[in-house]
Structure 1
């Protein structure tokens, strides 16, 4: 094993321990792949609209970050989009939100009922939120 590979592995291990992340990322990636194949109907409806990459904004679906798998994630805006059904635990969601806030990721929750009602309107709302975040970031000083 080369010294560079060893250091890279060492640094990733330290990062994982510091943030309490699962040190078996392969498990999370495998889970994310399974979830991509078994998406719920509201997630499918929303994905059909978000995958169009309107305005150059790219979303990933079932993105593994740390110990969690996000429904949708926009890296450019650091925005996590979660479709909330009836089984979400508010206390667990608060812990997830705090974890992502420490990483600089904003969580945007949408109820599955809203997606069923009007997936187009929900996708437009998400794109507006991304545009707002990107505008705010452009105004920040770069020092």
Structure 2
């Protein structure tokens, strides 16, 4: 088994409480029909959440993260064609609705919906 896949599986089994909270709201296309995966390998990294249809990566940052290292990691992932957005763990814990609204704002602005409604059925 590829080391990246093995590492991703380990991370999925050992989610942080904040990852569990956000995943509980992203999984099963709950967020406006968008499909997300968690702990997904991209290049040499494993990202927290990925919406492949929108090429959107969501990363959660806690106190253990280095701003400089995270910025370099984001640049490398973005060089592969993804948009990376980051949220602090306390943002997810204290304002999950605001975090979800920001994710939706980006999804709606930057990518076609994976399951568009037929013409004439939009709100």
Whether 1:126 aligns to 2:107 is no
| Paired residue secondary structure (1:51) | helix
Whether 1:26 aligns to 2:2 is yes
State the 4+ residue runs in structure 1 displaced beyond 3 angstroms: none
Deviation at 1:114, TM superposition (A): 0.7
Unaligned 5+ segments in structure 2 are: 113-123
Deviations 1:33-69 (A, max 9, x none): 0000101011100000011413331110000111100
Larger RCO (CA under 8 A, 6+ residues apart): 2
Q: Tell me what 1:76 maps to.
A: 53
- Separation in 1 of the partners of 2:50 and 2:68? 21
Q: Tell me what 2:118 maps to.
A: none
Correspondences of 1:1-143 after superposition (within 5 Å): 26-53=2-29, 54-134=31-111
| Paired residue secondary structure (1:98) | helix
Which shows bigger deviation, 90-99 or 27-36? 90-99
C-alpha RMSD of matched pairs (Å)? 1.4
The total of aligned residue pairs comes to 111
Unaligned 5+ segments in structure 1 are: 1-24, 136-143
TM (normalized to structure 1)?
0.73
- Separation in 1 of the partners of 2:57 and 2:98? 18
